[in-house]
Structure 1
């Protein structure tokens, strides 16, 4: 690994890195620094937890000179509110001795307060796409002076449906700017976005997209249903010495709330939950309690898989198998960070077996299977989604077309007739031709019979 002292960085940045205790650069930081400094458009691909944020912040802050310009010169777009707060904190740490003015804007908070904050001088704006676009439309923010655009976690942006906002933001930005994109995976959507809107992009990668981190041990349990998963999780979490800091991923907000309710019966003072329906203050409080050790179990959804940079997570448990195999990489990347070891577990049902195999195909390796402990009770209770669905035989909404009566077909055919409009006038005109008026030449004369 290269040393930061070998980089041509300012004394202010070097001093900030020393305060943070950073001496050696990670591979992505070493590769990205000269390319970003050159001013070229760049896309960087690296496994999660390898220092991508510093990979673009170091060269950007190194090139950021003092200016009296009141409008932002650097725009950083990220997918989640938590990641906005996190990036702002990193900028403040690195810019400690350089008087860098940074502001984070995101949804779920007062837009008026953000408008007031944007009225003052700002060098860097870190934002989620939707809230940024709203502020631009409200004329609270001008983008005409932006010289560098950073899109962090590009693939998540597109997965969350931000493509429309991104394209609109591209149109509002100056044509002459540097585009910097970072992600843990390179998907087809990302390739298409780069092809459609950017030219001459330099690509740097320190790992093949989808490659698992070598310091994360991965295991899988085959489990029959949701409540057996709950029983297994309740059993595993009893070992507080081994499972000292556990991040549990579920597929939906409903599953998160249901699992929280079930586990709170056993671990009430040790568990917290976050998802997009929780208020921003609730989410930040839960993250802080988990990060500081007040809670050792945090339940979350995939929306939070990229916005969490938490210290020394011992286990990541995939309570539900993610639909997209790339999301699995982001989930397990929350552990085993900064070259430390970690453990990832997958709990999968027969319905999730195919999704689990897709993950193994992406990683080109098998996840080590484990046998359910005999102490775990097999639950018979099923969730609504797991219950078999019965179709009513006499329900007309579920009948096949061949079983419908003649009245239904007669009504259906009637509805197929096109409405030609003005039927009465059309019929009268066809029957009696054009009606005569006093202005007509032959008004009052009878038509001669042949």
Structure 2
């Protein structure tokens, strides 16, 4: 399918696409571009490589005619400097309209150069949320004319804890169109974007390749946090008749220590570490030694600098944490013993922030990992922040009786503070006083 008029792209942009070798739209572009160009708020969910970045660029460039005035009309937020540079590079590869100016904002020593670049004119700004907020508060980024607000890699933005600057920037724009691209959609991401999205259309693209190999049976357990993961692991490990031998993978020694201490007393000292770094803790140098041990039921393995290990003959593999590289996980899932009756079950625990890696793994495996129901007797840990708020003592109620040493007169109405401005509102007020 060639680029059609239904996508509502300008003729000059279609010519640029063909010259760049992009002769036909991908599925995500077919489903989103006409809606974006029609002014609707969009949430687009798709895996890595499905064409999200190109869609971002096309949505931005299609806002401009041949002439551009250097006033920022498109703001694109991404998670880090590398993505800023990647998006700008993609814009340059597609854009033939040299009147459109593009400025990147990301963390560098000082802000002077970026402030100067903004002062020279920027039709499109590609930025990390934290640096865009800094430039905005310094009055270098004018949000008054923004028509299109794009949040790309939204799941990674949440993973890096950048929700606050995103919310402040979005809420400081009086009126514009909002478009969000992400690999996964979860509760934390929804909480960030819900306040500024206006009846968004939900568009989802699934691109699962062919399964390259036979894998062990797998089950995914989606849990809210680390504490619930730990409770689920303890619950499973109590059933020693089922979980006769289990290898548990974590990412760091620090996490391995937590699991070892937590399980040691609960499973009658039947837990060990691979290559234990403490003399007094039970450990094995090889997985085969663990398999042959009649006493030990659980082996905790830290991924740090870990060479591939043989898991043949282990009834259960649990990924308490997902490894940094999807290939590491996939290699463990390969079932090399289809001719035997021995079966290994692979269980994966994942929080919202790990679902992006789950989707990447599913792409490589060529199949969705079935989601398991959480046990009824699993204790779900609440977020620590909520606990802190609930445990915080109530503010002491001020007595109506006068206290010695205090003033007895009431404040004038003009001196009473009945407001609490956000940093964005304060910046607008400062700008109005300075320029208006």
TM-score, normalised to structure 2's length?
A: 0.52
Equivalent position SS for 2:43: strand
Equivalent position SS for 1:75: strand
Counterpart-to-counterpart distance in 2, 1:30 and 1:142? 32
Counterpart-to-counterpart distance in 1, 2:211 and 2:104? 33
Question: Structure 2 vs 1, CA of residues 200 and 161 (structure 1 numbering), >3 Å: closer, same or farther?
Answer: same
Q: Deviations over 1:346-386 (max 9, x none)?
A: xxxxxxxxxxxxx934499xxxxxxxxxxxxxxxxxxxxxx
Counterpart-to-counterpart distance in 1, 2:247 and 2:19? 47
Question: Structure 2 vs 1, CA of residues 129 and 194 (structure 1 numbering), >3 Å: closer, same or farther?
Answer: closer
Match of 1:316 among 308, 311, 327: 327
CA shift, 1:213, in A, is 2.0
Q: Which residue of 2 aligns with 1:196?
A: 195
Q: Which residue of 2 aligns with 1:182?
A: 181
Matched, 1:360 2:361: no
The structure with more radius of gyration: 1
Contact 1:148-1:180 at 8 Å conserved across structures: yes
CA shift, 1:316, in A, is 3.4
Question: Structure 2 vs 1, CA of residues 217 and 50 (structure 1 numbering), >3 Å: closer, same or farther?
Answer: same
Q: Which residue of 1 aligns with 2:356?
A: 327
**Mean CA deviation greater in 11-20 or 142-151:** 11-20
Equivalent position SS for 2:31: helix
Counterpart-to-counterpart distance in 2, 1:78 and 1:322? 27
Counterpart-to-counterpart distance in 1, 2:140 and 2:102? 16
Q: Deviations over 1:115-173 (max 9, x none)?
A: 22222111100001011111112222222111110001222222221111112112322
Contact 1:81-1:107 at 8 Å conserved across structures: yes
Q: Which residue of 1 aligns with 2:48?
A: 48
Q: Which residue of 1 aligns with 2:257?
A: none
Counterpart-to-counterpart distance in 1, 2:96 and 2:89? 10
Question: Structure 2 vs 1, CA of residues 23 and 331 (structure 1 numbering), >3 Å: closer, same or farther?
Answer: same
Q: Deviations over 1:197-241 (max 9, x none)?
A: 32221111223xxxx72246467799787888xx99xxxxxxxxx
Counterpart-to-counterpart distance in 1, 2:116 and 2:98? 24
Contact 1:74-1:148 at 8 Å conserved across structures: yes
Counterpart-to-counterpart distance in 2, 1:107 and 1:216? 41
Contact 1:12-1:98 at 8 Å conserved across structures: no
Q: Which residue of 2 aligns with 1:64?
A: 64
Q: Where does the alignment leave 5 or more consecutive residues of structure 2 unmatched?
A: 217-245, 252-273, 276-284, 287-301, 309-322, 333-347, 374-436
Q: Which residue of 2 aligns with 1:239?
A: none
Counterpart-to-counterpart distance in 2, 1:99 and 1:363? 54
Q: Which residue of 1 aligns with 2:127?
A: 127
Contact 1:317-1:344 at 8 Å conserved across structures: no
Runs of 4+ in 1 over 6 A off after TM superposition: 218-228, 319-322
Instruction: State how 1:48-127 maps to structure 2 within 5 Å.
Output: 48-66=48-66, 69-97=69-97, 99-127=99-127
CA shift, 1:327, in A, is 2.8
Q: Which residue of 2 aligns with 1:147?
A: 147
Q: Deviations over 1:304-325 (max 9, x none)?
A: x9xxxxxxxxx83349989544
Equivalent position SS for 1:36: helix
Say how many residue pairs are matched: 264
**How large is the Cα RMSD of the aligned pairs?**
3.7
Counterpart-to-counterpart distance in 2, 1:193 and 1:126? 20
Q: Deviations over 1:25-84 (max 9, x none)?
A: 111100101100111111111222100122232233223225553331100001121111
Counterpart-to-counterpart distance in 1, 2:58 and 2:248? 48
Counterpart-to-counterpart distance in 2, 1:191 and 1:17? 33
Counterpart-to-counterpart distance in 2, 1:105 and 1:63? 20
Counterpart-to-counterpart distance in 2, 1:332 and 1:83? 21
Equivalent position SS for 1:63: coil
Equivalent position SS for 1:4: coil
Counterpart-to-counterpart distance in 1, 2:59 and 2:32? 8
Question: Structure 2 vs 1, CA of residues 195 and 140 (structure 1 numbering), >3 Å: closer, same or farther?
Answer: closer
Counterpart-to-counterpart distance in 2, 1:47 and 1:363? 22
Q: Where does the alignment leave 5 or more consecutive residues of structure 1 unmatched?
A: 233-250, 264-300, 306-314, 337-342, 346-358, 365-450
Q: Which residue of 1 aligns with 2:242?
A: none
Counterpart-to-counterpart distance in 2, 1:102 and 1:191? 29
Q: Which residue of 1 aligns with 2:378?
A: none
